[in-house]
Chain A
Amino acid sequence: MLALATQELAEAVGDIPVIEFVEPIPGFREDRHFALVRLEEGSPLCALTSLDHQDLQFLVVPAVLFYPEFAPEVSDEVVGELAIESPEDILVLLIVHAGESLDQTTVNLRGPLLINTVTRRAAQIVLDDPRLSVTAPLLGE
Chain B
Amino acid sequence: MLVLSRRVGESVVIGDDVTITVLEVRGDVVRVGVDAPRSVKVHRAELVAELAASNQESASPSQDAVASLAKALSAKGRRPGEQPGGSSPDRD
A binds B: yes
Q: Taking chain A's interface residues, is the majority helix, strand, or loop, or is none over half, making it mixed?
A: loop
**Which size class do A's interface residues fall under?**
35 or more
**Total A-B residue contacts, Cβ distance less than 8 Å:** 115
Assess the A27–B56 pair: CB atoms within 8 A.
Answer: yes
Query: Across the interface, which residues of B come within 8 angstroms of A26, CB to CB?
Result: 48-49, 51-52, 55
Question: CB within 8 Å of B: which of A81-100?
Answer: 95-98, 100
Taking the complex as formed, is B4 at the interface, i.e. its CB lies under 8 A from any CB of chain A?
Answer: no
**Does B78 count as interface, using CB distance less than 8 angstroms?**
yes
Q: Mark B15-55, 1 if CB is under 8 A from A, else 0.
A: 00000000000000000000000110101100111111111
In the complex, what's the smallest C-beta–C-beta distance from B37 to chain A, in angstroms?
9
Q: Is A8 an interface residue (CB 8 A)?
A: no
A43, B66: Cβ atoms closer than 8 Å: no
- Of A12-20, A105-113, A114-122, the stretch lying at the interface with chain B is A105-113
- Asked whether B44 lies within 8 Å of A128 as measured between CB atoms, the reply is yes
Docked complex Cα distance between A44 and B81 (Å): 13
Interface size on B, residues (CB 8 A): 36
CB pair B80 A27 closer than 8 Å: no
Known contacts A26-B52, A111-B54, A126-B48, A45 near B66 by CB under 8 Å = yes
Interface residues of A (CB under 8 A from B): 23, 25-28, 39-40, 42-45, 47, 55-59, 65-66, 68, 76-77, 80, 95-98, 100-103, 105, 108, 110-111, 124, 126, 128, 134-135, 138-139, 141
Q: B residues touching A (Cβ–Cβ < 8 Å)?
A: 38-39, 41, 43-44, 47-62, 65-66, 69-70, 72-74, 76, 78-81, 88-89, 91
28 contacts between A and B (CB under 8 A): A25-B55, A26-B48, A27-B52, A27-B59, A28-B56, A42-B74, A43-B74, A43-B78, A47-B66, A56-B59, A59-B58, A76-B38, A77-B38, A97-B58, A98-B62, A101-B89, A102-B88, A102-B89, A108-B55, A108-B58, A110-B51, A124-B51, A126-B43, A126-B47, A126-B51, A128-B44, A134-B50, A141-B81
